Structure 1
Amino acid sequence: MEQYDVLVVGSGGAGQRAALEAARRDGLRVALITKIFPTRSATAMAQGGVNAALNNVAKEDSTEVHTFDTVKGSDYLGDQDAIEFFCQRCPEGVLEMDFMGTPFSRTDEGKIAQRNFGGQSYPRTCYSADKTGHVILHTTYEQCLKEGVHFLQEWYLLDIVVKDGKAGGAIIWNMKKGKVEIIKAKSIVLSTGGAGRVFWTRTTNPFLSTGDGMAVAFRAGVGLKDMEMIQFHPTGLGKTGILMSEAVRGEGGYLLNVEGERFMKKYAPNKMELASRDVVAKAIEDEIAAGRGFNGTGLDAYVVADLRHLGPEVIIEKLHGIRDLALCFEHCDPLTDPVPIRPTCHYIMGGIDVVDYKTCATEIPGIFASGEASCISIHGANRLGGNSLADGVVFGK
């Protein structure tokens, strides 16, 4: 029977960051179990960026403004103390990733580049073209290997063993061998991601996002919180629901209805396309319901994202991955054609109830949670784009 001091479940950004930090502590034996190869986790699909008030583009920005934007973006339902704690630590978290080798895009001065994102007062979203989650995941994976984290691939968490009121280990299905095994562990970190696949037909989430960790925690006696708070991203590709990153709007893309109108002027005249996700998603559905979408008002209806005015330089340099997705799944080229889009299930703000946001501890000693699997209540009823990767960077640590 394997025995570890720390067992991390989930190989996304939050899970790998937790494993890395634990492995850096002298004398701790750390393992990470994952259903798939670590760099294929859902974090790799996060395209747009990670928020931090670095002031590289907007000198007026600050952690206080980031805090206000996050509180407002949460529809004032987030834990404001936790949000303040989070926003104050985002700059340190992003700079740590930079020092570890994350290849962020750069300004002309060589600083980390930052772009506009919905619901934010200033450009504070640090990015690596449109593959930010991918490069963060590869960076943490390299560092975990360097620090000696034991990766147990194709292992599936079935249940947590709770003994004498605290974590004692985990029951695992070893998919390679086709048998159930037990791992002893003094501490278990659940970073298993979201459950977007419950919205089978339209979600940005991969097939592995099935809420495993939330279910396991609930069976072990840990509460779940805010599970009704589900975010629909405004720009999923029309046919599939695959994510078309918020970077599309951050770089200046337009949303148009069938009449060629930039309809966001009716719903958010100041922010326009850069309003928060819930506002933009509702506006799109309102336009479709009113008959101003393409292809009727049914499940196949859509509006379009128009990037043509951005020009080849911006699209090819900063949005090349998004262009590839549009070409593959919508058979249109953003250089010459508007791209069909419609809201799609993206993120669950709720999750495993974390009772101490500074340690990510749950109500059962020895069980911790971070990332989308957790509910630290920093997102409230609506998450700001760029705060998810930041969540993993800060609370994973």
Structure 2
Amino acid sequence: MEVYNHDLIILGTGLAGLRAALEAAQQSKGELDIALVSKLQLMRAHSVAAEGGTAAVMRQDMGDSFELHAWDTVKGSDFLADQDVVDFFVHEMPKEILHLDHWGIPWSRTEDGHIAQRPFGGHTYPRAVFAADKTGHLEMQTLYDTLMKHTKKINRYDEGFVTSILIENNRFAGLTMIDMINGKLVLIRGKALILATGGAGQIFGFTTYSETVTGDGLAMAYRAGLTLKDMEFIQFHPTGLIPSGILMTEACRGEGGTLLNNKDERFMGAYAPSKMELAPRDMVSRSEMTEIEAGRGFPGPEGLDYIHLDLRHLGRKQILERLPLIREVTIKHIGLDPIEKPIPIRPVAHYTMGGVHTDIKGHTPVENIWAAGEVSCVSLHGANRLGSNSTAECLVWGRVAGGEAARYCANASMPEMPKTAEQEWAKIEALIASTGTEDHYQIRKELRKNLDATMGVFRTGEQMEAGLKKIRELKERYKKISLKDKSLRYNTDLERAIETGFMIDVAEVATLGALTRTESRGGHARRDFNVRDDENWLKHTMADYTEAGPKLSYSKVDISMWKPVERKY
């Protein structure tokens, strides 16, 4: 086992991870020894798939305000967001847009040269700043290019598959990692860790997520003793391309795209008359499923019935200027040009509102661990995230966590050599040597099919009970898996097997939390408890690891600005 020592370790190199690294490097004036660890090549993080925009108050002189952005976010969250967190976020976010502007991002602009903004669902002002429909990719590229000015103390571990987070005496002590390139077992030690590994969308079969988004950081944190919060709240994006699930950005509707059923009706008027297609995502997704279940959809492959996203009326010029990636993707994947034909879409698993519990500064209860981005739950999004608030969250809390961790490292000592590293390697070696009869690929396939069926846009207690039972059966079967590849170098068989174990843990936490929450709120819509219950459920779900399964408890929601009201649009 090789051992590498650094000051600050950042696990995950998407928007939150890169922003954290850049802030830490700037805070320390380049003197901090930073390790960037990713199971991918650095610029392959899923953040590059973010398309539509990043929310910020940039037009206070033209009708927008911090209070309005905060209200939209709180209302959109179905009043489960912590309001002190929301207030902090809306005030910090415009600075991030200007930072990126000064670092050279090619924001789309108005004719008079101002940074352009467009409407997004649930926002009462068009505040989504964008770069055509490649916003996440260009934000990533800008952060990476700027970070390269600090390369002297930046150490990259690309294609390093981390298998565990080691916490001893309530301090982070290290990461165990398989160096996939060289086929080595590695221990990476550091004074502090920033967790920025993203969500867990691959626990679903029909999802917008890259194959790599398997909830690794969530599961490792959970197993190491960190609390997961509000994991039952999964966002379904209204416009996933049939049959792949690839995201058709909300910018399509922000630019004026419409949703049509098989009667060629613009049906959102029956569900959210004031917002139409730009209602919050949970509402639009439920409306689409209601149309499909009522027989007003189109028959699709493998039960994936769909409705239409129509951009034709926008015209060729607007589509080529504002939505070029959407056109490229639909032509490439289904041979359809949205200039000429409507796009087949349906709701698709898209975002994890819950995550590792942190305070308002992204700090976990462990002294030297922070979390930022989708892996964390600071609780900005509550029960439903507004579109364009996610890339924004990554930027704000990437910066905050990077600065906090850098200041901590300046005065901290290196934790003692972890005693549990050898135990983790023993588990990996046992997995490689295993001779069980179960196929972990089949287990993953069944898990994803199960989540699609039991934890979708609409849920019932009966479905989720069956789903939880299935997850626990898969958990037992997983103990009997075996591998065909017994090597270490680029052993994707081993990597997929470990990922599947992570996915099972995350799925169990999410399903148990959803089954226990006997109400409907935001992205958690139960047909057997179809109203929001503030008296009993205005609280966060907290899940802690035990050998027997998740142990649930609850914590208060910060209601410091607005009392909950009925959520209408």
**TM-score category, normalised to shorter length:** over 0.9
**2:224 alignment partner AA:** A
Shift of 1:161: 2.1
Aligned to 1:121: 124
Does residue 180 of structure 2 align to residue 151 of structure 1?
Answer: no
Shift of 1:163: 2.8
For residue 112 of structure 2, the aligned residue among 109, 113, 130 is: 109
2:243/2:301 contact within 8 Å kept: no
- 1:261-295 CA-partner distances (Å, limit 9, x unpaired): 00000001110001010010000000000000011
| Aligned pairs for 1:211-230 within 5 A | 211-230=215-234
**1:191 alignment partner AA:** A
SS in 2 for 1:61: coil
Aligned to 2:171: 166
Shift of 1:298: 7.2
SS in 2 for 1:268: coil
| Aligned pairs for 1:1-397 within 5 A | 1-24=3-26, 25-26=28-29, 27-55=31-59, 59-148=62-151, 149-200=154-205, 202-295=206-299, 299-354=303-358, 356-358=359-361, 360-397=362-399
Q: Which ranges of structure 2 fall in alignment gaps of 5 or more residues?
A: 400-569
Aligned to 2:480: none
Q: Which ranges of structure 1 fall in alignment gaps of 5 or more residues?
A: none
- 1:196-219 CA-partner distances (Å, limit 9, x unpaired): 00002x100001100010111112
What is the rounded CA distance, in whole Å, between the counterparts of 1:185 and 1:170 in structure 2?
A: 9
Runs of 4+ in 1 over 3 A off after TM superposition: none
- 1:133-173 CA-partner distances (Å, limit 9, x unpaired): 00000011112221122221001111122233211221111
1:16/1:141 contact within 8 Å kept: yes
1:289/1:297 contact within 8 Å kept: no
Shift of 1:325: 1.1
More strand by share: 1
Shift of 1:297: 11
SS in 2 for 1:156: strand
More helix by share: 2
2:39/2:160 contact within 8 Å kept: yes
2:121/2:386 contact within 8 Å kept: yes
Highest CA radius of gyration, 1 or 2?
2
Identity between Structure 1 and Structure 2 (%): 48
What is the rounded CA distance, in whole Å, between the counterparts of 1:162 and 1:197 in structure 2?
A: 27
What is the rounded CA distance, in whole Å, between the counterparts of 1:101 and 1:34 in structure 2?
A: 25
**1:87 alignment partner AA:** V
Specify whether residues 296 and 389 from structure 1 end up closer, same or farther in structure 2 by C-alpha distance, changes over 3 A only: closer
What is the rounded CA distance, in whole Å, between the counterparts of 2:345 and 2:219 in structure 1?
A: 32
Specify whether residues 296 and 15 from structure 1 end up closer, same or farther in structure 2 by C-alpha distance, changes over 3 A only: closer
- 1:120-143 CA-partner distances (Å, limit 9, x unpaired): 001100000000000000011112
What is the rounded CA distance, in whole Å, between the counterparts of 2:73 and 2:262 in structure 1?
A: 33
**1:159 alignment partner AA:** S
What is the rounded CA distance, in whole Å, between the counterparts of 1:141 and 1:155 in structure 2?
A: 19
SS in 1 for 2:102: helix
Shift of 1:179: 2.0
SS in 1 for 2:303: coil
Stretch moving more, 360-369 or 143-152? 143-152
What is the rounded CA distance, in whole Å, between the counterparts of 2:367 and 2:343 in structure 1?
A: 49
What is the rounded CA distance, in whole Å, between the counterparts of 1:296 and 1:155 in structure 2?
A: 39
1:349/1:381 contact within 8 Å kept: yes
- 1:338-380 CA-partner distances (Å, limit 9, x unpaired): 11000000000001111x212x110111111000000111000
**1:238 alignment partner AA:** I
- 1:177-211 CA-partner distances (Å, limit 9, x unpaired): 122111110000110001000002x1000011000
Give RMSD over aligned pairs: 1.3
What is the rounded CA distance, in whole Å, between the counterparts of 1:158 and 1:190 in structure 2?
A: 13
1:204/1:236 contact within 8 Å kept: yes
Shift of 1:330: 2.4
2:10/2:35 contact within 8 Å kept: yes
What is the rounded CA distance, in whole Å, between the counterparts of 1:158 and 1:94 in structure 2?
A: 35
TM-score scaled by length of structure 1 = 0.97
2:38/2:158 contact within 8 Å kept: yes
**1:379 alignment partner AA:** H
Count of residues in correspondence between the two structures = 393
Specify whether residues 55 and 222 from structure 1 end up closer, same or farther in structure 2 by C-alpha distance, changes over 3 A only: same
SS in 2 for 1:219: helix
